[in-house]
Amino acid sequence: MQTSLYKDAKKTLKLSLPIIFGELAQMALHIIDTAMAGALGYKQLAAAALVLGALTIPFVIGIGMTISVSQLVSMHHGRQDEEQVSHYFYNGFWVCAITAACISITLVLGKNILFHLGQDAEVAQLAVPFMELMGWSVIPMLLFMALKQFTDGLQLTKTAMLISILAMPLNIFINWLLIFGNWGFPRLELVGAGWGTLITRSLMFLSLGAVILWHPVFMPYVNIRKSQWVLRVKTIKALLHIGIPSGLQVGMEAGAFAISGLMIGTIGAVEQAAHQIALSLASLTFMVSMGLAQGSSIRVSNAYGAKNSQLKLIIGKSTLITALLYGIICAIAFIIFNHTLPLFFNDDKNVVDMAALFLLFAAVFQISDATQAISAGLLRGIKDVKIPTLLIGIAYWVIGIPVGYLLAFPGRLGAVGIWIGFIAGLSCSSVFLSIRFLRMAKKV
């Protein structure tokens, strides 16, 4: 049994690796902006944190909508139905495009809400122009994700991964030019980071779009565009049936972190900057878990279709064990390097010391963070999304956020109390979802 679990874990890891590298590259773009903005001062770092926190909920809901593309494309690809693959890809792209436009316009028009969130006045002033540019960048990013879900659904995961990785040095170079005013470019500081993100995301979308339109491997789906690239209400409903629950599920989790970040911002700019550093690092480790979750979801979905309950359990158990080991490794790394890692973002002693403290709390929830992500992915693989969404809502919004608020403000623990709330929410989510999968995998 142990040998079987080991071999199965290797299969999942092999499938997941390109997805993991792509997820890490995407997360790295945010960390690059945060780190380079942090070099300007902790106020700019806090402003970047404020904007990224405000963007989180609508952005991840948009990401959730794109998930419907990969699921339906993958299903029809398994049936070797090229016409339906092409049809769902086209309809899914436009569903994602409309979603992206709505999110972007809402963010841009509502940017002045940053002045009314109880944040430091100077931080809010710095954040508004950055918010506008980041709001516009949602459009190319979600369009890129829609195309990525198409290629991932065809199990061609390396294409988007390579583009994502190549985008990192490009983003660094553009930021270097525009944030600091090198080579005669204007010194735009935080606004320069916004332009860097917008330009990089636009080039990523255009690059992947060009590959899909002109690479021979995608020609079978492009050549039938005259008959299949037609919008149909029935198809759009099928996409929304998957996309909306997926968006709500990831939105509730990310939203809990975003709201907690806003609460920390009311405490002070130093706390907010330190929080952004620790959360960025925790989010980076989480991307590996997300990649594993997607890979395990694909494999469990195949076993589900074949009605192989034993294989579903083996995949689930092996991936959960992998997540457990990975979480332990991350926890040890955060404990050992808790004072070193924040220096990559900022050198203000107060910010670094507080971020180091937060990383110790982040170390505690690494295991639960990894296992809850994997469990959620496994449940999606067996088409169980409604109850898990409710369980996630309870874990974060009934337990995590209230605990964090009570400890932070009435309990006078400040930002530390909110981080304890993270631990409570993630731990409950992990327990709820893991038990749910182990029970459901035996039934369906």
How do residues 406-415 score in pLDDT, each as one tens digit? Answer: 999 999 999 9
How do residues 111-129 score in pLDDT, each as one tens digit? Answer: 998 888 787 888 889 999 9
Is 253 within 8 Å of 56 (Cβ atoms)? no
Of these ranges, 2-6, 244-248, 430-434, the one predicted with the greatest mean pLDDT is 430-434
Q: Report the alpha-carbon distance of residue 318 to residue 316 in Å, rounded.
A: 6
C-beta neighbour count of 397 within 10 angstroms:
16
* Concatenated DSSP letters of 330-365: HHHHHHHTTTTGGGGT---HHHHHHHHHHHHHHHHT
Residue 411 main-chain phi, psi, to 5 deg: -80, -10
pLDDT of residue 40: 83
How do residues 285-330 score in pLDDT, each as one tens digit? Answer: 888 888 888 888 777 777 766 677 788 889 889 999 999 999 999 9
How do residues 134-167 score in pLDDT, each as one tens digit? Answer: 999 999 999 999 999 899 878 788 888 899 999 9
pLDDT of residue 185: 94
C-alpha distances (whole Å) from 205 to each of 81, 148, 209, 231 are: 26, 9, 6, 22
What residue numbers bound the domain in which 212 lies? 2-443
Q: Report the alpha-carbon distance of residue 154 to residue 3 in Å, rounded.
A: 30
Residue 322's SS3 state is helix
How do residues 68-88 score in pLDDT, each as one tens digit? Answer: 888 778 777 776 889 999 999
pLDDT of residue 111: 92
Is 288 within 8 Å of 373 (Cβ atoms)? no
Q: What is the mean pLDDT of residues 423-428?
A: 93
C-beta neighbour count of 81 within 10 angstroms:
13
Residue 155's SS3 state is coil
* Concatenated DSSP letters of 264-301: HHTT-HHHHHHHHHHHHHHHHHHHHHHHHHHHHHHHHH
State the pTM of this model.
Answer: 0.80
pLDDT at residue 375 above 90?
yes
pLDDT of residue 128: 94
Listed residue (259, 239, 314) closest to 6, CA to CA: 314
Q: What is the mean pLDDT of residues 386-402?
A: 92
pLDDT of residue 385: 80
Q: Report the alpha-carbon distance of residue 419 to residue 236 in Å, rounded.
A: 40
C-beta neighbour count of 336 within 10 angstroms:
11
* Residue 108 buriedness (CB in 10 A; 0-12 / 13-18 / 19+): middle
Average pLDDT score over the chain: 88
Report which of residues 260 and 234 the model is more confident about. 234
pLDDT of residue 26: 75
Q: Report the alpha-carbon distance of residue 239 to residue 262 in Å, rounded.
A: 32
C-beta neighbour count of 79 within 10 angstroms:
10
Is 265 within 8 Å of 124 (Cβ atoms)? no
Q: What is the mean pLDDT of residues 276-286?
A: 86
* Residue 52 buriedness (CB in 10 A; 0-12 / 13-18 / 19+): buried
pLDDT of residue 2: 58
The fraction of the chain above a pLDDT of 70, given in percent, is: 98
pLDDT of residue 238: 85
pLDDT of residue 305: 65
Question: Where do the H-state alpha helices sit in 39-157?
Answer: 42-78, 82-109, 121-153
How do residues 163-220 score in pLDDT, each as one tens digit? Answer: 999 998 999 999 999 999 999 999 998 999 999 999 999 999 999 999 999 999 999 9
What domain count does the chain have?
A: 1
